[in-house]
Amino acid sequence: LLSATLWVLGSACAQTAAPAQPAPSADGAYVIDPRSKLAWPRCVEGMQWNGQTCTGEPRLMTHGEAAALATARFKAEGVAWRLPRLTELRRWAGSEQGRALFPGDPQDWTWTSTSRIDTTQSSPYAYDNITRGSLGTQDRLGVQQGWAVHLGTGEARGDVARKTALIVRLVRPQP
């Protein structure tokens, strides 16, 4: 009975496949990530995949220009291109896996789609707050600042002026 139980457990474990790992597409131009269900271009905007690495110069854009590029590609191709979220981009940035999957990446700051929200608490009983008209919690959307990730270190900052020209890598849904 014990050996039959172990055989059943062993068979069940053998049938359970490990989660699929990110891997290059058939043509090598994208990294297909089954976890996020995204296709990542191997190269940032302005650089080209030559079959081995990325060549050329990265195209630097403001946050608004990067968002406009994603919208233009969506209209032209019918594919939902967008800037990656902070957590999505940090998964690759500064990691050995990221360096292997994205060879030739510039090791610099890159835009994300994550918005910056400042939330501050103020006391309704503090004299300075009363004179300024500040009561309770204030939520302010930092419309002039955005989040960026450093591709070399994985560091993230939420205080980058959106008019700053940074590297851009768009992502799209997995084909």
pLDDT confidence bin for 175, thresholds 50/70/90: confident
Q: What is the pLDDT of residue 28?
A: 94
Residue 123 has pLDDT above 60, yes or no: no
Which one has a higher pLDDT value, 125 or 155?
155
Radius of gyration of the chain (CA): 22
Residue 94 has pLDDT above 80, yes or no: yes
Average confidence (pLDDT) over 47-74: 96
Q: What is the pLDDT of residue 70?
A: 97
pLDDT confidence bin for 38, thresholds 50/70/90: very high
Q: What is the pLDDT of residue 120?
A: 52
Residue 143 has pLDDT above 50, yes or no: yes
Average confidence (pLDDT) over 116-140: 52
Q: What is the pLDDT of residue 44?
A: 97
Residue 175, Cα to own-chain centre: how many angstroms?
18
Q: How far apart are the first and last CA of the chain?
A: 47
Average confidence (pLDDT) over 80-95: 95
Residue 79 has pLDDT above 70, yes or no: yes
Average confidence (pLDDT) over 20-42: 94
Q: What is the pLDDT of residue 155?
A: 96
Q: Which DSSP state fits 26?
A: T
Long-range own/partner contacts, residues 88-94 (CB < 8 A, 24 or more apart): 88/36, 88/38, 88/112, 88/171, 89/149, 89/169, 90/149, 90/154, 90/156, 91/36, 92/40, 92/151, 93/149, 93/150, 93/151, 93/152, 93/153, 93/154, 94/150, 94/151, 94/152, 94/153, 94/154, 94/155
